[in-house]
Structures are given as C-alpha cells and as structure tokens.
Amino acid sequence: MKLTIYHDGQYWVGVVEEQDQGKLKAARYIFGAEPKDEEILHFIREEMWELVSRLSQEVAIKWSETKKVNPKRLARQAAY
C-alpha cells in the first residue's frame, strides 16, 4: 500500500494505492490546507482503512510500454 500526498494547485490531496491479487485499487482524499504530521497520522490510522475498504469498483487498464524519448529530440519535434 502506498500513500502519496501532493499539492494540485488548489488543495493538498492524498492518493492511496493498494495492489491486491494483481489488481490496483486507488482512492483520493482531499486534505484542503497543507496537512500537519498529526493530521496525516490520524488519516493513516483512522480514515485510510475505511476509504480503502470501500473500493469496490474495478476498471480494466491496459499498460503499454512506451519508449523513452530523448529530451533534445522532443524539443526539436515541439519546435516544428
């Protein structure tokens, strides 16, 4: 299980990811203002488990291996 917290430009958001039997489940939680360490710990101990347990919707995602493009080549292509 992985928790990622980031600022989306307006709010601080937490994304919880869990892999279960080869399937990826994810949920988003909006903190609002920048969360303090205590708020994050409370979320992990109390609210995260409830959020993850409610994840029941499954979505099929196709993963495709993309070839990494050289940044200089990408810049040249963008210039055209």
Provide, rounded to the nearest whole percent, the portion of the chain with pLDDT above 90.
19
Structurally, how many domains does the chain consist of? 1
How do the residues of the chain divide into helix, strand and coil, expressed in percent and rounded to 5?
A: 30, 30, 35
Host domain of residue 52: 2-79
Mean pLDDT for 5-18 is 90
Looking at residue 63, its pLDDT comes to 61
Mean pLDDT for 15-21 is 83
Mean pLDDT for 7-14 is 90
Task: Check: pTM over 0.85? Answer yes or no.
Answer: no
Query: For residues 24 and 60, what is the distance between their CA atoms, to the nearest angstrom?
Result: 10
